[in-house]
Amino acid sequence: MGLLWNFLAMIWYQLTFKPKPLSDDIWLWGQTAIVTGSNAGLGFEAAKELALHGLSRLILGVRDAARGEAARAEIARLAPECKIEVWSLDQESWESIVAFGERVDRQLDRVDIALLNAGLKRLEFSQSPTGHEAHVQVNHLGTALLSLLLVGRLRRTARETRKPGRMSITASSVAFWARLSDVQEPQGGNGILAWLDNPASFVPGENHYCVSKLLNVLWTRALAIHLYPRDIVLNTFNPGYCRSQFHREDPRGESMAKYLAFDTAQGGYHLTDAVIRHPNSHGAYLSEQTIRPVPQEISSAKGMDSQQFLWDETLALFERECPEVDIEEFRRG
């Protein structure tokens, strides 16, 4: 019943809601934004909209440099006063993620906005070069590590400007198509990430993608608890079902998109809405461009236990696989 209700709610949302762009009175002059997954699709549209609202500096974090340069040229044509740079970011590589974070600290005098949008969707099991299942690596681990690496610069900027920094993580309503039991102590007792990395856990289709989006929601809620004093507003959000290359490996998803999906610009409006508006959304989940409660299962005692379990396991993994990254402050939080 829960899955059917979530599916029907998604259809209703797609058919009745009209996403809204940022209002004309929002002006971002002087600010610097980082947008990952920004060479195409929703990330590109969000980066473009931020630039068109007077942003002074824009960092496009992309895996494909050539496509990133094409995106930079298009945005620069529309917003010539914005300084736009293309930076390499491969969320299937610890070295690339750490190098990106170090470059942020070294080269950017400020970061006001971080929109973490890079992700993937596959229907068959695949493994990243790190050894982790691809959805686990890119959608959760890569995003989680980058979120930690950006906290310092966002926090320093917030203190200098006396204005909270903003960070948003792209999730999806399909996060709640996954079962909470999928992120509780699984078979073998070795942890949820180890189990999701195991090919035996993979059910062909969207299940691992849905679980990875649930991990995004749980990670955001856990990280928000550790961001005190609250000089960074962190949230996660549902961008809706959109027509984009994101569904290129899912023929059924592409077919449904013809009838239900928002276009990429409308999808991008959800990204900019989450990272610019809603100053009271710290730790919250947004859908239909407003703060929405997470399902009761997520906010229950079991949900909070799963959230803490994921937090502890993810930090322990970073300590093993990325020992050069200092995460001690998050252990203390």
CA distance between the termini of the chain: 38
302 as an active site residue: the answer is no
Q: Is 258 an active-site residue?
A: no
Judging by beta carbons within 10 Å of its beta carbon (0-12, 13-18, 19+), is residue 70 exposed, middle or buried?
middle
- Select from 68, 207, 43 the least CA-distant residue to 118: 43
Based on C-alpha coordinates, what's the Rg of the chain? 19
Q: Which of 183, 157, 169 lies closest to 282, judged by CA?
A: 169
Q: Which of 172, 173, 244, 306 is catalytic?
A: 172
| Residue 174, SS3 per DSSP | helix
CA–CA distance from 224 to each of 61, 151, 221 (Å)? Answer: 23, 11, 5
**One of 213, 244, 281, 306 is an active-site residue; which one?**
213
Q: What 3-state DSSP class applies to 180? A: helix
Long-range contact list for 153-162, CB < 8 A, 24+ apart? 153/104, 153/105, 153/108, 153/110, 153/111, 154/111, 154/112, 154/114, 154/231, 154/232, 155/231, 155/232, 156/110, 157/32, 157/110, 157/111, 157/112, 158/231, 158/232, 159/231, 160/110, 161/110, 161/112
Residue 75 structure tokens: 């945005």
Cα gap 47→224, rounded to integer Å: 24
State how far the Cα of 268 lies from the Cα of 52, in Å rounded to an integer. Answer: 13
| Active-site residue flag, 121 | no
Q: Which of 128, 173, 209, 269 is catalytic?
A: 209
State CA 39 to chain mean position distance.
Answer: 15
How far, in whole angstroms, is CA 157 from its chain's centroid?
21
DSSP 281-316: -TT-EEETTEEEPPPHHHHSHHHHHHHHHHHHHHHH
Q: Which residues are catalytic?
A: 172, 209, 213
